[in-house]
């Protein structure tokens, strides 16, 4: 039976420490990634909103994305958006608004809204996880994201009016 030399034992201990360090790093990275996914589930204030279309008034309960971090997060990582809910993105000034669907797991309809609450453009069924830029095409003050298919189901269109305190309407 051969006894391991002191240098062999040191090499084995060093290799064992290296494997433990790699394992600890892997565990740390898993928790870091899980933490990032958890961060994506921040809290938002909620508010009632209505859309006055030609046919009737449709009511929703929406989350408000008003800070830059909230607007960046949006509806990312959600696996479902209820038919009577959505998210209203409010911007501090009129601008051409550009959005994308990265890390958004469900199709969404987007209504781009001017400062008076009029829908100025519509994007239906935005593709989940797409990096394609979705633009308002003209200056807008807000975006209302709803579950994909809501626009066609309710017959919503450009010119419809959003009733919400952010636009001075109720």
The domain that contains 76 carries what CATH number?
2.60.120.1140
CA 33 to chain centre: 17
Same domain, 81 and 145: yes
Same domain, 27 and 62: no
Is pLDDT at 41 greater than 70 in this prediction? no
Same domain, 89 and 140: yes
Same domain, 158 and 88: yes
At 55 the pLDDT is 83
> Domain range spanning residue 26?
1-39
Using only C-alpha atoms, the chain has a radius of gyration, in whole angstroms, of: 24
- Its pTM stands at 0.75
Is pLDDT at 30 greater than 50 in this prediction? no
- Percent of the chain beyond pLDDT 90? 72
What is the band of 10 on the pLDDT scale with cuts at 50, 70, 90? confident
Same domain, 91 and 139: yes
Same domain, 161 and 101: yes
Sheet of strand 45-52: strand arrangement: 119-126, 108-113, 134-147, 85-99, 57-65, 45-52, 161-163
User: Which residues in 23-165 belong to E strands, given as ranges?
Assistant: 45-52, 57-65, 85-99, 108-113, 119-126, 134-147, 161-163
Domain count, the chain: 2
State how far the Cα of 121 lies from the Cα of 22, in Å rounded to an integer.
51
Same domain, 93 and 129: yes
Point out the least confidently predicted range of 24-28, 79-83, 111-115, 165-169.
24-28
Same domain, 157 and 79: yes
At 82 the pLDDT is 93
Higher pLDDT among residues 170 and 51, named by residue? 51
Q: Is the dihedral of CA 36, 38, 42, 47 positive or negative?
A: positive
Is pLDDT at 96 greater than 50 in this prediction? yes
Backbone angles phi, psi at 118, to 5 degrees: -90, 135
Is pLDDT at 14 greater than 70 in this prediction? yes
State how far the Cα of 52 lies from the Cα of 126, in Å rounded to an integer.
23
Question: pLDDT of 120-138, one tens digit each?
Answer: 999 999 999 999 999 999 9
Point out the least confidently predicted range of 6-15, 97-106, 116-125.
6-15
Same domain, 160 and 87: yes
Three-state DSSP at 27 gives helix
């Amino acid at each position: 039976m051969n006894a391991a030399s002191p240098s062999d034992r040191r090499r084995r201990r060093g290799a064992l420490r290296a494997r433990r360090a790699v394992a600890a790093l892997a565990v740390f990275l898993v928790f870091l990634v899980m933490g990032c996914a958890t961060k994506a589930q921040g809290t938002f204030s909620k508010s009632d909103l209505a859309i006055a279309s030609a046919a009737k008034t449709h009511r929703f309960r929406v989350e408000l994305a008003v800070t830059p971090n909230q607007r960046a997060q949006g509806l990312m990582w959600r696996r479902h958006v209820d038919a009577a809910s959505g998210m209203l993105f409010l911007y501090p000034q009129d601008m051409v608004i550009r959005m994308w669907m990265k890390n958004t797991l469900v199709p969404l309809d987007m209504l781009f809204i001017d400062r008076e609450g009029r829908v100025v453009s519509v994007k239906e069924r935005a593709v989940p996880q797409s990096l394609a830029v979705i633009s308002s095409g003209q200056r807008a003050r807000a975006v209302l994201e709803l579950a994909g298919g809501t626009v066609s189901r309710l017959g919503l269109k450009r010119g419809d009016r959003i009733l919400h305190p952010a636009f001075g309407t109720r």
